[in-house]
């Protein structure tokens, strides 16, 4: 095996095992010694790839956010209209965010570990970017009123992130459907009211 392949396998093992540990125990309860033991490597190998635990966590968070974004895009691209793409993408985001491991890494530990600014930058590079693109399409085709997309995308992104956090602490088996119904009503409010209503 070539050195480059070996290095990449080591990095993947570190990210995979760190992700499992962070998702199960939470960032604060995981030590570097646990990560390297689980990955079967030395601390030197970890420091060859990462600056420390927070840097490993950042790689894990990027992976989780990318996977959620891929689920959003897959759901959206299966739809025929710009409106259906937006709603399918939003629903896919909420559904993906209800996975306990995703919630812990992406929504609970993410902002706490990296800080709000870094977390927002990663979020904007993943799911939030797709949301902004979907909203721009809706403005362009006249489905929603012409308006600046950036503030609207931030408002909706914040609402969905907050909803996902609420879902994490709500025991009701109907919570996801109720949350989606509320979000769908909110989204419907973006469309112009037909004359006579």
Q: Using one digit for the tens of pLDDT, what is the confidence trace for 143-178?
A: 999 999 999 999 999 999 899 888 888 888 899 999
**How many Cα atoms are found within 13 Å in the side-chain-facing hemisphere of 95?**
12
Q: Which contacts qualify for 132-136: CB closer than 8 Å, 24 or more apart?
A: 134/76, 134/82, 134/85, 134/86, 134/89, 135/86
Q: Which strand (E) or helix (H) includes residue 19?
A: helix 3-25
Q: Which domains does the chain have, with CATH numbers?
A: 1-50 (1.10.10.60), 53-189 (1.10.357)
Low-confidence ranges of the chain (pLDDT < 70): 1, 194-197
Residue with tokens 């956010």: 65
pLDDT in the model for residue 196: 54
Residue with tokens 């809706």: 138
pLDDT in the model for residue 194: 61
The residue among 81, 116, 76 whose CA lies nearest residue 95 is: 76
pLDDT in the model for residue 2: 85
Under a CB-based contact definition with an 8 Å cutoff, are residues 71 and 92 in contact?
yes
pLDDT in the model for residue 155: 94
Q: Using one digit for the tens of pLDDT, what is the confidence trace for 70-82?
A: 999 999 999 999 9
């Amino acid at each position: 095996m070539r050195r480059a392949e070996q290095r990449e396998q080591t990095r993947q093992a570190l990210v995979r095992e760190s992700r499992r540990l962070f998702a199960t125990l939470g960032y604060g309860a995981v030590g570097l010694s646990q990560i390297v033991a689980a990955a079967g490597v030395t601390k030197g190998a970890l420091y060859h790839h990462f600056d420390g635990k927070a840097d490993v966590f950042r790689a894990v968070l990027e992976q989780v956010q990318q996977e959620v974004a891929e689920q959003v895009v897959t759901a959206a691209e299966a739809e025929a209209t710009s409106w259906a793409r937006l709603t399918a993408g939003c629903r896919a985001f909420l559904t993906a965010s209800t996975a306990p491991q995703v919630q812990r890494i992406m929504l609970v530990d993410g902002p706490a570990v990296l800080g709000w600014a870094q977390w927002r930058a990663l979020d904007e590079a993943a799911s939030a970017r797709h949301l902004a693109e979907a909203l721009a399409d809706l403005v362009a085709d006249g489905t929603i009123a012409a308006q600046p997309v950036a503030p609207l995308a931030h408002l909706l992104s914040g609402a969905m992130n907050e909803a996902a956090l609420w879902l994490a602490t709500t025991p009701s088996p109907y919570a996801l459907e109720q949350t989606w119904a509320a979000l769908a009503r909110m989204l419907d409010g973006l469309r112009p009211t037909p004359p006579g209503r």
